[in-house]
Amino acid sequence: MFKTAWEFIRFDKAKSIGVIVGILISTFLIGQQLGVFFFLTGLMGSLATNVKADIWVVDSKTDDVNQLGKLDIRTLRAVQGLSGVKEAFPILITGASCNYNNGTSGAITLIGVDISKLNTVLDSGKIIAGKPADLQMDGAVSAEFFEKKNIGDNINLGTDFEINGKRAFFALQTKGFRGFGSSISVTSIERARFYSNQSVNNISAVLVKLVPGTNADDVVARINSTISGVRAWPSQKLAKSTIKKILGSSGIALSTGTLIIFALIAGFFIIGLTMYSSALDRLKDYGTLKAIGAGNGYIRRLILTQAMFFAIAGFVIGMLLLEGFRMGVAKSGLIFGFSPLVISGMFLTIALISLGGASFALRRISSVEPAAVFN
C-alpha cells in the first residue's frame, strides 16, 4: 500500500509538488497568524502576569490591568491589616508623554514602585544593563530594548530626555518587560507621582503577597467584603479579564480568525483540485488496479495514504519556514512560541484539510469502471 502510494506520488511530480506547496502555505499562514495572536494576547495581560504578586487590589470598576483607576493610599493600610496577607505595597501606573533628544516624541506607561520592591515588579532576568539601585538616582527611569523604534534608537544608559516637560534619563535597560499599546518605564513611586503631577495619596493598585498556604480566593473574598470601593483579583484572573475585554472591544480576534479561515479554505481547494486533476490523469492506472481485483476500499485507502504523505511533507516544510519566520521577527521583539499541544492541533487541522481535499479525487475514482483501462 505505502509503496504503491509513493509510486503514484513520484509519477506525477509536478502535481505532487503543487499539493505540498498548498499544504505548506496553509501551515505557514495558520502558524503565522496564531503566533502573532499569541504574542498580542500575551502583551495584553503582561502587567498582571509579569508582576510577582498573588492578588491585585484595584478600583471596583476596573477589569483591565491596562486601565487602572485611582485608589486612596488608605486602601493599602486596610489591606495590610487582613489575615492571610504577608505583604502589601502600592504601585502607581500612569501615562506620560516624552520628548527625546533626536526630536521625536511618544507616549509611555510609567510604573512607579518602591525601589525595595522592584524585584516583585521587574524580574531581574529581564534587566540587561544597569542595576536596580540605579533607579534611586534623581530622574532615573528604565527603558525597554524592544521599544527603541518607538522611543528613539538612542536608549543607552545616561541618555537624557523629558517626561511631561521634566528632565529624566535612562538608568536601567530591560528586555522583554513590555505592555500592550505603549512602552513601559519603571521608576520610584515618588518620581512617578512627580512626573504625572499626582497627589501623594494616589495609587493605582495594591499588590498583595500571601502567607504560604493561604487560599487566594478566600483572601480575595475577604478584601471584597470588608473594603468598599475596591475589587481584588488573583493575578491570573485579572490577566484573563484584560485579554477578554480587549479582544471583545477590538477586531484582533476577528481579523486573526478570518485570515486563518481563509488559509484553511485556500489550502482545502488547492489540495482538492490538484488531487482531482491528478486523479483524472491517472484514471487508467486506477482502472487497472480495479481490473486486477482491487476494490473501492483499497482505492480509497491508497488515495488517503497519498494525502497523508502530502500532509506530513507539507507540514514539516511549512513548520521549518515558520521557524525561520519566528526567529527572524524575534530580533525585532515579536516573540512567540508554540506548545506541543498547539503543534499537534495544527498538524491535525492540516491532515484533515489534506484528507478532505482528497475527497474530490475519491468521488471521481470510485466511479471508474475496470473496463476504462481498455478505452
Q: Where are the beta strands (DSSP E) in 193-229?
A: 202-203, 205-210
Cβ partners under 8 Å of residue 348, min gap 6: none
Q: What is the pLDDT of residues 7-21, one digit of tens each?
A: 655 666 777 787 788
Burial class for 324, CB neighbours closer than 10 Å (0-12, 13-18, 19+): exposed
Q: What is the pLDDT of residues 99-137, one digit of tens each?
A: 887 777 778 889 999 888 888 888 878 888 888 888 888
CA distance 75 to 207: 11
Q: Answer for the pair 354, 268: CB distance below 8 angstroms, yes or no.
A: no
Q: Does 202 score more than 70 pLDDT?
A: yes
What's the confidence (pLDDT) of residue 56?
A: 92
CA distance 152 to 15: 50
- Inter-CA distances, 222 with 43, 84, 87, 231, Å: 30, 10, 16, 10
92 phi, psi to nearest 5 deg = -120, 120
Handedness of CA 157, 158, 162, 166 (dihedral sign): positive
pLDDT higher for 374 or 348? 348
Percentage with pLDDT > 70 across the chain: 85
Q: Does 320 score more than 90 pLDDT?
A: yes
Q: Does 39 score more than 70 pLDDT?
A: yes
Residue 67: closest CA among 205, 167, 163, 206: 205
Put simply, whether the predicted model's pTM sits higher than 0.85 gets the answer: no
Q: How many CB atoms lie within 10 A of CB 63?
A: 16
190 phi, psi to nearest 5 deg = -65, -40
Length of the chain: 375
Banded pLDDT at 316 (limits 50, 70, 90): very high
Half-sphere exposure of 323 toward its Cβ, with a 13 Å CA cutoff? 7
